Amino acid sequence: MIAHLDSLPDGTASGAMGAPSLRPRFAGRARRPNRFRDAPTAAVLAEAECWLWSLAELDADLAADPASWDHPAETRAFVLAAVEDADAELARRERLRGHPEAPPWPGRWPDRRPVVAEIKAALDLPRVVEGLCGARLERRGRQFVCRCPLPGHDDATPSFSVQPEKRVWYCHGCHRGGDVFTLAMHMLGTDRFADVVPVLAAEAGIGCDGTGAGRVC
């Protein structure tokens, strides 16, 4: 992983969060459009940090209780794919930094951890699924299920599950999953984490600076 993902805000090393360089793991994979191609560098760095914290949370939970996540392998692959995209885009920009027309590299970037955590805590994921997706959830034990509401999936059976305690969702049919932010990204048709933060912050009734009436994210 390149230097700009190795050094995160507050001097935290990404290796300590369980995410060493990802390129060898994805060697030989067919190239796909990079979700970060048109994002400002500061936004790429901030989003990469959020994904790394999600990875750290997943690994920490599994280390404490291997049964704490229903679909850990799929969830980890989803998060790693996002980090790989950020890593690849930052590597491309690192290669171009010396070009006379390249913009300056940001010295600092927004630390979104506090507001992301507050938004996730404030929003009830089942209610978001029903409100944002127009789905009707049915409780089954500790989780809720419904037919997958994600674009591009014509689901004939209840393949979509929501775990409110973990604040995560997963579809057994189209094999997509994540948290409230990734759900909003799918439903709003964007690949950029930054696009859905202000939407969900407004839904949660908080400002993007965590004050309740803060600046635009």
User: What is the per-residue pLDDT across 158-189, written as a single tens digit (0 to 9) for each?
Assistant: 999 999 988 889 998 888 888 899 899 899 98
Question: In 10 A of CB 36, how many CB atoms?
Answer: 25
- In this prediction the pTM is 0.58
CA distances to 68, 147, 166 from 138, rounded to whole Å, are 21, 10, 17
- Domains observed in the chain: 3-109 (no CATH), 112-217 (3.90.580.10)
Q: Are 196 and 190 in contact (CB under 8 A)?
A: yes
SS (H, E, C) the chain: CCHHHHECHHHCEHHHHCCCCCHHHHCCCCCCCCCCCCCCHHHHHHHHHHHHHHHHHHHHHHHHCCCCCCCHHHHHHHHHHHHHHHHHHHHHHHHHCCCCCCCCCCCCCCCCHHHHHHHHHHCCHHHHHHHHHCCCCEEECCEEEECCCCCCCCCCCCCEEEECCCCEEEECCCCCEECHHHHHHHHHCCCCHHHHHHHHHHHHCCCCCCCCCCCCC
Is residue 116 very low, low, confident or very high in pLDDT (cuts 50, 70, 90)?
Answer: confident
Record the tokens describing residue 187, joined without a space. 């439903």
- Token reading at 52: 């790394």
Calculate what percentage of the chain has a pLDDT beyond 70.
78
Here the tokens at position 89 are 């885009």
Tens of pLDDT, residues 36-71? 888 888 888 888 888 888 888 888 888 888 887 777
> What mean pLDDT is predicted for residues 73-89?
85
Residue of 147, 179, 151 whose CA lies nearest to 57: 179
Chain center to CA of 70: 18
